Structure 1
Amino acid sequence: MTKLIINADDFGYSKGVNLGIIEAYKNGVVTSATMMTNMPGAAHAAALALENPDLGVGVHLVLDCGRPVSDSVPSLINENGDFHKIDGLEKYAELSDIEKEYTCQIEKFLSLGLVPTHLDSHHHLHGHKKIYPIVEKLAQKYNLPVRKVSAEQGHSSNSNLKMVNYFNHEFFGDDLTTELFIEIINKTLSYEISEVMTHPAFIDESILRGSSYALQRVRELTILTSEEVKEAIVNKKIDLATYKEVSHQSLV
């Protein structure tokens, strides 16, 4: 039977995002989430995670949204103390500061009373050829699986880390439909275990002002809780899973 992890990114961004993810878990098909431990909603997300222990929760490593967890990573921040945008990161970021900040984010997650299931990153920055070795090192240190990144991004072999067989990031954008999500599910059927990335949320002021991807998240939530999607997963005999099952597998 095909195993499928449906992961909700950005857990911890805000209360609206957190509550939308929990709705998609309780009344939809989301099985997993990854938390931005540097964002204002992190403590609220952790409380929700503790109330819902069967939701797999990992760490959504962040370098380009909000502020750092560490109080001493000067190359990662602008004059206001916020993370640089991606172009600023490429110009100023020092690898030692990236490793320090990523470590602090994982340790903050642990301090909230949670055990992480895996690592991924905001805007897929862990796939950057200079950043990937840091994530590989931390994944081995904490014994965690990592979201699969494509070979085209120039990083080293994935053979040292536990990953799913297939990762799909296509459920994103302005034209999302139930049919599209079911098409994405169909792409996972030939693999033993896969992950599909999602971003469900209820909209609040924080996400409306802070993210260019806001109203689309409500559409995602509607699709992820739809009866059509639930029925498709049952009919296709898909076993919904979390990264806990990847942890117990041999290296992919």
Structure 2
Amino acid sequence: MNAPGTEDAARQARGLAIGLHLNLDRGPPVDPGFPREWRTVDGGLAGARVAGLPADVVEAEALAQLERLERLLGQAATHLDVHKHLHRHPQVLEGLSRVARRAGLPVRSIDADMRGALRARGVATNDAFVGESGETAYWTPERFRAALAALPAEGVTEWMCHPGHLPQVVTTRYAAQREVELSTFLDARSREALAQAGLQPTDYRVLTRA
């Protein structure tokens, strides 16, 4: 919500199931009251100091980013997650959980410990999680089939993915890999494999309806 092109992206995404990808790592804060002592030298977000952010600061920034998302989209977010999984830090998780409870939104969990911590705070979350980004593309056709075979027998599993085209403006280590993932998920054989496994693609709204 604080990156270049946010408004244009929101226009293109209207009508889709969109969650807040909370950014505490870079760029200017959305909350005008974000404390100066937690900003970087150029006035940006906490960056490497995120682990020490007080829960109150996280809560205020998460709420500001969520409100901006819903204003730009003209619809409610479906869930909350955090760039670089920074809610693995206890204070970030606490601040995010407060906003999630207030908004009645699920939060992405990436492991059993985070899942337990969220549920202990009264926050809905996914039952399992698969996905990563690295030097090579994560979602190749081969890994897609292997992940299908290894899925739990029940529950909601998030498949985190980064499909897209080569970035034209920003620099990122995950670039050409995005096109591999896009090809994997658009392949008709992937849809066929899901159907054969008896799996139903969904989004985080399934947790708020439960």
Q: Give the TM-score of the pair, scaled to structure 1.
A: 0.74
Opposite residue 108 of structure 2, the aligned amino acid is R
* Residues 121-165 of structure 1: CA deviation (Å, up to 9, x unaligned): 101112322211111111110010111242446973524111222
| Candidates 7, 11, 19, aligned match of 1:58 | 19
- Preserved contact between residue 56 and residue 95 of structure 2 (Cα < 8 Å): no
Counterpart CA distance in 2 for 1:222 and 1:102 is: 33
Name the residue aligned to 1:95: 55
Opposite residue 69 of structure 1, the aligned amino acid is V
1:225-240 pair list within 5 angstroms: 225-240=186-201
Please provide the CA RMSD for this pair: 2.2
Name the residue aligned to 1:168: 130
Counterpart CA distance in 2 for 1:244 and 1:153 is: 20
From the superposition, tell whether residues 200 and 175 of structure 1 become closer, same or farther in structure 2 (CA, over 3 Å): closer
Structure 1: tracts of 5 or more residues without a match: 1-36
Name the residue aligned to 1:187: 150
Name the residue aligned to 2:10: 46
- Preserved contact between residue 119 and residue 139 of structure 1 (Cα < 8 Å): yes
- Preserved contact between residue 118 and residue 145 of structure 1 (Cα < 8 Å): yes
Q: Which has the higher contact order (CA 8 A, sep 6+)?
A: 1
Counterpart CA distance in 1 for 2:117 and 2:196 is: 38
Counterpart CA distance in 2 for 1:81 and 1:157 is: 31
Structure 2: tracts of 5 or more residues without a match: none
Counterpart CA distance in 2 for 1:154 and 1:242 is: 17
1:136-215 pair list within 5 angstroms: 136-152=97-113, 156=117, 158-159=119-120, 160-170=122-132, 173-176=135-138, 177-207=140-170, 209=171, 211-215=172-176
What secondary structure does 1:106 align onto?
Answer: helix
Q: Which has the higher strand share?
A: 1
From the superposition, tell whether residues 171 and 78 of structure 1 become closer, same or farther in structure 2 (CA, over 3 Å): closer
Name the residue aligned to 1:107: 67
Q: How many residues align?
A: 206
From the superposition, tell whether residues 201 and 77 of structure 1 become closer, same or farther in structure 2 (CA, over 3 Å): farther
Could you tell me the percent identity over the aligned residues? 27
From the superposition, tell whether residues 154 and 228 of structure 1 become closer, same or farther in structure 2 (CA, over 3 Å): closer
* Residues 208-244 of structure 1: CA deviation (Å, up to 9, x unaligned): x2x2222211211111112221221121121111111
